[in-house]
Structure 1
Amino acid sequence: MHNPSEHSLLSAIVDDLAARGWSQQSLFLPAELSRGLAAECRRRYAEGELNPAGVGRGAAQEIREAIRGDQIQWIDPGESDVCDRYLGKMDGLRQAINQGLFLGLEDFECHFALYPPGAFYKRHLDRFRDDDRRMVSAVLYLNEGWQVDDGGQLRMFLAEGVEHDVQPLAGSLVVFLSGDVPHEVLPAGRERLSLTGWFRRRGNDPF
């Protein structure tokens, strides 16, 4: 069972998704867990475990720094306590979305993403043309003391030409419908850390 404050937070995210297709929460994680995740990301980066992210999927995937410049590593359960705690919270969100919106979300995949200074990710959608399993995107930020002048905002392109910028502040979460919200990551003047993930439904495969 979730405590009342966590239950209210999850309900707010579900209500936002239903009403407008996206939600922004400034205090999704406690500071100590956010710091632990940031330290885990930096440790993996220092040990060479993060790799340049590709564009596309499968055999067509390629590294194109003119489109995106982040370095990533996928997260699996059982690798670290802080990652397992985060995955547990996201599974609670998955259940809340299913209960409220009946999306049939079956799992959650995510990776650390580190953007070196100057790196960016041009405008895109998170859902692949030939794979519609990704239903809801979720990005958690891990940057303490971030200032507006540091750049690195997530810019979402919403209905009627509206642009909304999200500051990548530690502990904040943005959630949006993967196939409906184009977005980009603006260049940052300092190292930028996040956990980027997707809630997925069952695909077309019979197994």
Structure 2
Amino acid sequence: MQTNTTIAIIGATGSMGSAISKSLSNGNFNLLLCASDQTKLQSLLGEIKTSNPSAQAEAMDCFKEASWEADIIILAVPYQAEKEVAGKILEVANQKIVISIANPLNVTYDGLVTSPDTSAAEELQKLLPNSTIVKAFNTTFAADFAQPVIDGKQVDAFVAGDDAEAVDTVAELVTTAGLNPIIAGSLKESRTLENMQLLLIKLGIKYNYNWLAGWKILHN
């Protein structure tokens, strides 16, 4: 990845967006943090600057402008908001990597609203046909970014996409965030990844993981 890559994080003040923003602020990136609530956005920026004074981060209130300036765009928004955001950035996201972190959960967190033959990431690819969609960060909870080692094991984070170079680039972001990247395969594998997080959420509710849990592949 080129140095000083510019990354727009749309939805930066949400639980996942802020966790990703804080983690990536430790890398050599220019971060453009976007959210509708400017008060929360300035608070997030202050936290980042306090913990890492050399962090290159800027608060922005225009999704389109930030996406135009960015090399990589992270949509840290719920599935229900992706269509609206995609419409705003369609013209400026051409030929850029767009990361989908969304899980298309229903309101009771016990199922997905997408049909089995698609995924949130694949739906986003249809909305942004000239962008390169990569699925990442959807199999981890926000708390995992602050504590990426659980029970002595580094949390795995899965990456899926159809463009090998883009997938490798996003895997580097995962590493910077403190997680262990595992390349799962093509964008179609995002169907499995979204179901994996649904299962982890259901298990977390059942066994009271307190939103600190992650997947780990053990092998020899």
TM over 0.5: no
- Length-normalised TM-score, structure 2: 0.26
Q: Which has the higher strand share?
A: 1
- Length-normalised TM-score, structure 1: 0.28
